Amino acid sequence: MTPSNYSKTQIALHWIIALLVLFQIVMHDEIARLWSGRMDGTLPNAATPNAHVAVGFLILALAAWRIVLRFKRGVPALPASEHPALKMLASGTHLLFYVLLIGMPLSGATAWILGVESAAQVHAIAEKLLIALIALHALAALAQHFWFKTDVLKRMLGRA
C-alpha cells in the first residue's frame, strides 16, 4: 500500500541531509585546500580527521537509512494529474539524488583516505551535478506548490 504522506522520520531525514549537504557545499574550500596541499606536497599526504569527512560519513549513513525506509514504508504517489514526463523526471531526479548521496561520500572517502586522485575528480564532478540537481529540485518543489497547486511541497514540510 502506498502511504499518503511521508513519515516524520522520512521528513526529518530529508531536511537533516539537506542541511548537511549545504554545510558540505559551504565548507568545501577547507577540504579543497587540504587536498591541494596533500597533492602538491606542502602538507603530509596522510588522511587527517576533519569535519567535511565526518559529515560525509554521516550523510552516507542517513541516506542509507532513508533508502531503507523508502523500501520498507514506501513514499506518497506523485499527483495523479501530473504529466507522465514530469513523473519520469521526478523519479529520475530522486534516483540520481540517492546515487549521489551514496556515491559522493564513497568517492570522497576513497580520495581522502586512500589518496586516490581519480576518486577526487569523480567527487568534484559529482559535486557540480549535485548542486545543479538541488537547484532543479528546489525549483520543481516551488513549481509544484505555486504553479501546479499540488500538495507535494506540503507533504515534505509535514503539513499535508
DSSP the chain: ---SS--HHHHHHHHHHHHHHHHHHHTHHHHHHHHHHHHHTSS-SS----HHHHHHHHHHHHHHHHHHHHHHH--PPPPTTS-HHHHHHHHHHHHHHHHHHHHHHHHHHHHHHH--HHHHHHHHHHHHHHHHHHHHHHHHHHHHHHTS--SHHHHHTT--
pLDDT tens digits for 2-53? 898 999 999 999 999 999 999 999 999 999 999 999 999 999 888 888 999 9
The pTM of the full predicted model, rounded to 2 decimals, is 0.92
- As a whole number, mean pLDDT of residues 83-103 equals 95
